[in-house]
A and B are shown apart, each in its own frame.
Chain A
Amino acid sequence: QSVLTQPPSVSETPGQRVTISCSGGSSNIGSNTVNWYQQVPGATPKLLIYSNNHRPSGVPDRFSGSKSGTSASLAISGLQSEDEADYYCGTWDDSLNAALFGGGTKLTVL
């Protein structure tokens, strides 16, 4: 059971918009910034969003992040088939003195 809670799966059709939520608590998301990672099947994870809403070089602006209180969200617009992957949120927990990942959300592009 992860400290950060994500829905196990989401699905949407190509061209549409989907959001993935990540819920935590005051010692983690409530106190620190949130990052998002994409893991395409068979590949290593890739940093997608850092510090709540910043995109590393090369990440399309179809991907965006936000945070409010103890929750965060990843939005993907203009869905493409290659977006089908597992998505993980992550942050630091001040009480545990540990980095955390959410349980992951599998995105299916129908």
Chain B
Amino acid sequence: QVQLVESGGGVVQPGGSLKVSCAASGFSFSAYGMHWVRQAPGKGLEWVAFIRLDGGIAFYADSVKGRFTISRDNSKNTMYLQMNSLKAEDTAVYYCAKDFLRSYNIFDVWGQGTMVTVSS
């Protein structure tokens, strides 16, 4: 069955770095764009970044541009989010999501999420 599993979350100090991963299974990973979406505790959904199926194009939310980098390894069916210069406001559950219909903005499969806490 189609599945996305995030990992790598944890507690990091402000200004620190963390890399989270998303392992995909049950579908042809290399045929789909992928997204990261986050949700701060008790808050709404916030789109973070998108990467095209071949990794050739990436888009970022203004709130993370210049600090976060999305990447993928199609040979490993895995997507990554490298987060640098982390701030308290980056504290959230980070979900990976599969793009639908090459839309860049329809998320049809979601992982369970990984929690990132930025705190001293």
Contact = CB atoms under 8 A, between A and B. Distances in A.
Given A50-B101, A90-B105, A92-B104, A99 B47 contact: yes
Size class of A's contact patch?
20 to 34
Interface in B26-73: 35, 37, 44-47, 50, 59-62
Interface residues of B, number: 24
Contacts of A101: 37, 44-47
Contact of A32 (B100, B105, B113): B105
Contacts of A103: 44
A7 to B, nearest CB: 13
B6 to A, nearest CB: 10
A95 B112 CA distance: 31
Contact of B110 (A45, A88, A92, A96): A45
A92 B105 contact: yes
Contacts of A46: 110
A63 interface: no
B111 interface: yes
Interface in B101-117: 101, 103-108, 110-113
A10 interface: no
Nearest to B59: A97
Given A44-B113, A47-B107, A37 B45 contact: yes
B80 interface: no
A102 B113 CA distance: 20
Contacts of A98: 47, 59-62
Interface of B: 35, 37, 44-47, 50, 59-62, 95, 100-101, 103-108, 110-113
Interface of A: 2, 32-33, 35, 37, 39, 44-47, 50-51, 56, 86, 88, 90-92, 96-104
